Amino acid sequence: MKKIEAIIQPFKLDDVKEALKSIGIDGMTITEVRGHGRQKGHKEVYRGQEYNVDLLPKVKLEMVVSSSRADDVIKALAGAARTGKIGDGKIFVFDVAEAIRIRNDDRGESAL
């Protein structure tokens, strides 16, 4: 099993959800986060007082899928989230040791 963690532009969330749904992924967890990589922030001015805002709003998606499906999911996700500009985000992939469905104690891939 693989955990796929993606940090994307917030306005791309709907496209990404749509793309994942079309390949049969319907479970995910998202968080509104702030951060930046190479993308620079912007300047705000309040009555002449300047502030550099470098932590920008992003959305973090997390999902766990079977190892065989990971590549498809990454491809769909990256394709939907891409604009080609700096700030599109990143995807991180982790190995997952175990998954448990709380409702009935299913374990492993059947818990996904």
Partner 1 sequence: MMKHFRKICLLTMFAAPAAVWAQANPDIQTRLAAVESAAKSAQSAGDNAWMLVCSALVLMMTGPGLALFYGGLVRRKNVLSTMMQSFILMAVVTVVWAVVGYSLAFGGSGPFLGDFHFALLNHVGSDPNPDYAPTIPQQTFMIYQLMFAIITPALISGAFAERMKFSAMLLFMVLWGLIVYFPMAHMVWGKGGLLNAALGGKVPTFDFAGGTVVHITSGVSALVCALYMGKRTGFPSDAMKPHNLVISFIGACLLWVGWFGFNAGSALAASGLATSAFVATHFGAAAAALGWVVAEWRHDGKPSVLGAISGAVAGLVAITPASGFVKPFPALAIGFSAGIVCFFMVAHVKKKFKYDDSLDAFGVHGIGGTLGALLTGVFATNQVNDSFKDSAGKLLPLGLVDGHPSQVLNQAIGVAISWVLAIVGTLIVLKICDLLLGVRVRKEQEIQGLDVSLHGEEGYIFES
Toward partner 1, which CB reaches closer, 30 or 93? 30
Collapse the DSSP code of 21 into the 3-class scheme (helix H, G, I; strand E, B; otherwise coil) and give the result: helix
Toward partner 1, which CB reaches closer, 27 or 48? 48
Toward partner 1, which CB reaches closer, 14 or 44? 44
Residue 6 class from Cβ within 10 Å (0-12 exposed, 13-18 middle, 19+ buried)? buried
Question: How many chain residues are in contact with partner 1, going by CB under 8 A?
Answer: 7
Alpha-carbon Rg of the chain, whole angstroms?
Answer: 17
Binding-residue pattern over the window 24 to 63 for partner 1, x denoting contact by CB under 8 A: --------------------xxxxxx-x------------
Residue ranges binding partner 1 (CB under 8 A): 44-49, 51
